[in-house]
């Protein structure tokens, strides 16, 4: 088989996983760019025009959309690989053996397991990148309130003026920031700065003493793919809620900005 044929076959398998598990991205699998019947590319462009004119900024909204879109594609692609490798991971229950006076459940890490954990850690970083770009977008509407060097997803939400904090869109983003995002970022911080997921689980496994604990450990490991699938859908909703919020900012803060002829 030619190399390109092999790559195409591989890509077709990944695409089939998108459909099998309901994975998606900002562009959408049908390339419509629609979320809740809103065409995100044109909406993003419409609500950022006056802001860019008013602030005469160097912030590039076209690049911002492309970056958010590309990060979303990466999250989709790498999450699919967790589902690809999950069926082929080693199973300590299946590998259990009687040793001396008790049953032991060895963790014979195989290729499927290694790849699964590799992609899990990659997705954590890509999700952080995605929300960081969302933070860049939000902060661009309030350049007088924050330095470019301090812009992150969380700091961008911190500067939102009180007049917008009762909007449902801000409440959604705030709720996400304080719960799901906090958990996600804690996982990412652990992987990036301290211990990779595969090393963490390897050493956690060493402390397991019975079948029930091993089953729970394995369920948590296998659940990473589903966790990231859920995060994908949160990224789509989060982008929609961000544009809802910024649409209100555009209508109020930038309502008097005149488009050049």
pLDDT of residue 167: 98
Which of 49, 75, 193 lies closest to 129 in space, CA to CA? 75
> Measured between alpha carbons, how far is 192 from 77 in angstroms, rounded to an integer?
20
pTM score over 0.75: yes
Residue 195 Cα distances to 117, 135, 205, 236, 249, angstroms: 12, 26, 15, 29, 41
pLDDT, one tens digit per residue, over 137-169 is 999 999 999 988 899 999 999 999 999 999 999
Give CA–CA dist 82/80, Å, rounded.
5
- Report how far residue 78's alpha carbon sits from residue 14's, in angstroms, rounded to the nearest whole number: 9
How high is the pLDDT of residue 209? Answer: 87
Tokens read off for 241: 């809620």
pLDDT, block means (10 residues), the chain with 261 residues? 88 96 96 94 95 87 96 98 98 90 91 98 98 97 91 97 98 97 96 96 93 96 98 98 98 90 68
Q: Say what the pLDDT of residue 100 is.
A: 81
| Terminal alpha carbon distance of the chain | 58
Mean pLDDT of the chain: 95
- Listed in order, strand segments (DSSP E) in the chain are 34-35, 38-39, 97-99, 102-104
Q: Measuring CA to CA, which residue among 180, 62, 194 is closest to residue 131?
A: 180
């Amino acid at each position: 088989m030619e190399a390109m044929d092999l790559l195409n076959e591989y890509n077709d398998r990944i695409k089939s996983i998108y459909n099998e598990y309901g994975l998606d991205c900002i562009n959408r699998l049908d390339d419509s760019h629609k979320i809740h019947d809103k065409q995100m590319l044109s909406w993003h462009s419409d609500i950022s025009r006056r802001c860019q004119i008013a602030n005469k900024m160097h912030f590039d909204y076209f690049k911002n959309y492309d970056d958010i879109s590309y990060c979303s594609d990466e999250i989709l692609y790498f999450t699919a690989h967790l589902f690809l490798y999950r069926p082929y991971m080693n199973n300590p229950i299946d590998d259990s053996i009687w040793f001396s006076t008790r049953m032991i459940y060895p963790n014979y890490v195989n290729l499927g397991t290694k790849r699964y954990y590799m992609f899990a850690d990659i997705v954590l970083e890509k999700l952080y990148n995605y929300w960081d770009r969302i933070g860049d977008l939000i902060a661009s509407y309030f350049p007088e309130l924050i330095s470019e060097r301090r812009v992150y997803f969380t700091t961008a939400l911190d500067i939102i003026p009180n007049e917008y904090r009762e909007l449902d869109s801000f409440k959604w983003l705030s709720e996400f920031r304080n719960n799901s995002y906090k958990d996600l970022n804690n996982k990412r911080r652990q992987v990036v700065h301290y211990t990779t997921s595969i090393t963490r689980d390897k050493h956690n496994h060493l402390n397991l003493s019975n079948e029930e604990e091993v089953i729970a450990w394995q369920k948590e490991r296998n659940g990473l793919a589903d966790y990231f699938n859920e995060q994908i859908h949160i990224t789509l909703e989060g982008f929609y809620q961000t544009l809802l919020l910024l649409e209100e900012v555009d209508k109020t803060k930038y309502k008097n900005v005149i488009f050049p002829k």
